[in-house]
Amino acid sequence: MVRGILKISQISKIYISKYPLIAFLLILLFFYSSLVKAESYAVASRHHLATDIGMKVLNEGGNAIDAAVAVAFALAVVNPSAGNLGGGGFMLIHLAEKNETFSIDYRERAPIKSFEKMFQDKSGKVIKGLSLNSILASGVPGTVSGMFYASEKYGTINIKALISPSIELARKGFVLSEYQAKNLNKYKQKFSKNQEAKKIFTKPNGFSEGDILVQTNLANTLERISQYGEEEFYSGETAKKISSFFQINGGILSLEDLNQYKLRILKPVCGSYRYYVICSMAPPSSGGIALIQILNVLENTDLGKLDHNSEEYLNLLISAMDYAYKDRAEYLGDPDYSEVPKDILTSKKYADEIFKQIKEKKLPSKAKINVFEGEETTHFSIVDKWGNAVSNTYTLNTAYGSGIIPTGTGILMNNEMDDFSSKPGYPNAYGLVGSEANKIEPKKTPLSSMSPVIVFLHKKPYLITGSPGGSTIITSVLQEIINVLDFKMSLEESSKKSRIHFQHLPDILFHEQLDNSLIKSLKKDKKLINRKLGEVHSILLKKDGIEAFSDKRRPDGKASSIYK
């Protein structure tokens, strides 16, 4: 603005006296150009090929929803460990023209024939591995339904054009990175239990960097879906291939399950944090409620005045996480099956009470329950030139889901049934135990931590973010939000900062690289485990431009942006 005033001053000195009409028109032109919003758009995702496909859609005039659908189908091909057709997830959408924000719950549902004790033997003991690696491990997939709904309701490009690049990638193949080759080899034993998975995802001497991964049956399935629509997956040839495979191999997922799948449109959980508004997923995700609760607690302190990752700062985060994860374990589940006290858990008054307890160094009583889900999820963030935004997280649960591909489909199936409580009070594959609210019931949705987020400033998207990581998703996204909003970091700076994770049970502080003196001090109260946490893909919309960044904790991710 100061520069503008100087320019006007210069114009007035030179032209007003000699050319008053020209001077007037130049001043009008300046003010008009200052009001015209620069075009900016971006995509941040786990795989560079998916990001490129999304950017191509935006470059050619598609909106954020079009790009999201194209990216989701692409990740099903190039990121088979988590991108999927055989899983499900959550999509958070902001429509700029309507100033409307909502979410699509296209998470997996428990099959009709599922029941509470299906993973227990006659004596009531949980059968190890049955909820993870068996034919019983899969919930009814929702991804295809979610993508078609988003495209048909809010997209501008025919979905055939959005699926087309993925068909080509699956049929012709794509080049494996070193990371992907090693990851496929790591799960060779898992793939070897299923004939089709073994054929596609294993090699006698293992994969190497530069190998081409071809998925012909997946290409054929994508072609059928492109031609015949959503019905192909839920009642057509593909549905029959899936249900027949499960029936022949002793599974319970049926054609009736696929026919009856229904997604849900949910109102996001939103809360104020300083002068921002944070919106994320409502139950059956625990992400939105836990995030808002933790941020409400932290709002009682001026975090920006603390040293980042100092002992005082980390202890405050740990305490707030402790309370939030205890409540998550006790109260959260599918809202269609159990009452969730959302308003209480996200209230400022409740947060103030928690903060008072923290200041008095009182710990929450130890819950007897907790939940955990697989970490091999994937997230992408998108914003278009009109200001529409998509934050999407979807998953197969653990890496490559159950490792099972129904014959002739190329579709890796999820193992989301492990996200339920196989037995309330019994630890699942990750050493955590589940609650009564999250017990197995027909058509029910398992509790999730997936936390797609849109942060608003002055009612416009400011930060679009999310992460994979199972129960560490919430804390990874939390620290991204704090780093950007409180410490004014760039996305790259935030990504480089070490993260922590604490979830009430087990009593373990997970951490990335910290100072030795800090680790020594933290060890006095807790067991510590060093590991990578999260993989955040974010877009930051600033006054003077746009920043997009994909976490470098894993390779292959890419963020692209245009500002003009």
Tokens of 318: 């740990």
Tokens of 272: 């104020």
Q: Which of 73, 79, 190, 201 is nearest to 143 (CA)?
A: 73
Show Cβ contacts of residue 2 under 8 Å, excluding neighbours closer than 6 positions: none
User: How many residues comprise the chain?
Assistant: 564
Buried b (16+ CB within 10 A) or exposed e, 380-400: bbbbbbebbbbbbbbbbbbbb
For the chain, the straight-line distance linking the first and the last C-alpha, in angstroms and rounded, comes to 19
Please count the other Cβ atoms lying within 10 Å of the Cβ belonging to residue 513.
11
Q: Which of 81, 128, 329, 137 is nearest to 252 (CA)?
A: 137
Name residue, tokens 């015209």. Answer: 36
Q: Is 3 exposed, middle or buried (0-12, 13-18, 19+ CB in 10 A)?
A: exposed
**DSSP H/E element including 378:** strand 377-383
Annotated catalytic residue 377: yes
Active-site residue, from 101, 143, 346, 377: 377
Question: d(Cα 93, Cα 390) in Å, to the nearest integer?
Answer: 5
Q: Which of 443, 396, 356 is nearest to 112 (CA)?
A: 443
Which residues are 454's β-sheet partners? 279, 464
The 3-state secondary structure of 162-218, one letter per residue: HHHHHHHHHHHCEECCHHHHHHHHHCHHHHCCCHHHHHHHCCCCCCCCCCEECCHHH
Q: List the catalytic residues.
A: 377
